[in-house]
Chains A and B, each alone.
Chain A
Amino acid sequence: MAAFALSACSTDTPQSVLQPQGEFARKADALWDITFAIAIAVFVVVQGLLLYAIFRYRHKPGREAAQFHGNTRLEIAMTIIPALILLGLAVPTVATVFDLAAEPTGADVIHISVEGRQFWWRYDYTDLDIVTANELHIPTGQPIDLSIEGYDVNHSFWVPRLGGTQDVVPGRTSRLTLEADDPGTYLGQCKEFCGLSHSNMNLRVIAHDPGDFEQWVSDQQEPAAAPSDSLAAEGAELFVNGAADAQFAGGPSCASCHAIEGLDGAVGIIGPNLTHFAARNTFAGAIFQNNESNLRAWLANPPERKPGSQMPNLQLTTGQIDALVAYLQTLE
């Protein structure tokens, strides 16, 4: 039991459900606190009774077992007392269930459509005309209305410190409300087993002060800047049309799966929207830091870096990788 106390104090547990950082996670945590206290009390009493009975009545020469078959009053009491305790738990539980299920209202509520895909997250800020991936940016201090949509297989959206879990079921739309108290980065993960890289389907929620969030929104709404140097321009060309050499030509180009606003022809919808790729801290299911070496390794062989990745190994040459990395890094 000391372990529970320990874990609640430690600061290096970024996914702990015991350290809620938002209204909706706190409501669940409040219920947990009550339940856990009752459970511990019941545990101590019942386990104590069991151990006491075993040691008090262990066999000694001369001890005779009392021959009784039951005790009706006691048995009725043993049925009613747990039932009452549970009833006591049921009332706040049901109240919180309905509380959490209520859709947040108001003009300033931000609606985001969240789609879980093998193995990354797509976010569509329906009112703001922003599409991004894996890193969800939200303002602090206000409820965020997430509409959770299915795509290929079941996933489950979960940011433990900010709120509960919502399964992603293909063909269904569900809701989840999140709220963050303070600015910061909150880790989350896909929770429903979804295939080879289920473990690699992470996500982050980045909460900003409302003012910073406004800034982020207006940055995101800008189309991508035109490539600044020739290497980046070559990368952009490669991105849309693929390379002229044998392996890449005629096959898929980056743009068949990825979109970049402002780059003609890059309108793919299968992979993440890369318009502001360089502004993201992580990529590929939020498992890699977004830096040059990780990006190079990724482009060289995605399925090796992330098993089961839908992005195939395109057999890129070092030169092609140079150009693509240069271009991607301009996408601030």
Chain B
Amino acid sequence: MKIAVVLALITLAEIAIYYIPALASLLIPLLVAFSFAKFMLVILWFMHLRFDSRIFTRLFAAGLLLTLTVFILMLLTFFLRGGPAPTPPGIT
């Protein structure tokens, strides 16, 4: 129950900072941090990873970390050279 209250509060905070202009420069890091917090709360408590076998944690973490690594690398190969197909062709 406590976890649920925390989750609700974080969501409220997320929306709040979206509308506070003073925090504009911090917006993305803050949002990512909040999102990460919610993510961890759900998997650790709601999905019992905190109390359950380490094997489950490893299975899930393997997929999650692989996803992060591989797709960050992939997106880097695009954005280091200016994003997707920067010169759309005129003719099809």
Contacts and interface: CB of A to CB of B under 8 A. Distances in A.
Interface string A133-158: 00000000000000001111000000
B90 to A, nearest CB: 10
Contacts of A269: 91
Contacts of A172: 85-87
Interface in B59-92: 84-89, 91-92
Contacts of A173: 87
Interface residues of A, number: 11
Interface of B, helix, strand, loop or mixed by DSSP:
loop
B88 A171 contact: yes
Contacts of A303: none
A151 B87 contact: no
A267 to B, nearest CB: 14
Contacts of A149: 87, 89
Interface in A174-211: none
A164 interface: no
Most buried by B among A150, A169, A172: A172
Interface string A247-283: 0000000000000000000000110000000000000
B91 A171 contact: no
Nearest to B81: A172
A170 interface: yes
A151 B90 CA distance: 9
Contacts of A169: 85
Nearest to B88: A171
A119 B92 CA distance: 15
Nearest to B87: A173
Most buried by A among B86, B89, B91: B89
Contacts of A152: 92
A328 B87 CA distance: 35
B85 A151 contact: no
B88 A151 contact: no
Nearest to B92: A152
A288 to B, nearest CB: 26
Contacts of B89: 149-151, 170-171
B86 to A, nearest CB: 8
Contacts of B84: 171
A151 B84 CA distance: 16
A149 B91 CA distance: 12
Contacts of B86: 172
A149 to B, nearest CB: 8
Contacts of B87: 149, 171-173
A124 to B, nearest CB: 13
7 contacts: A149-B87, A149-B89, A151-B91, A152-B92, A169-B85, A171-B84, A172-B85
Given A171-B88, A172-B86, 8 more contacts: A149-B89, A152-B92, A169-B85, A170-B85, A171-B85, A171-B87, A172-B85, A270-B91
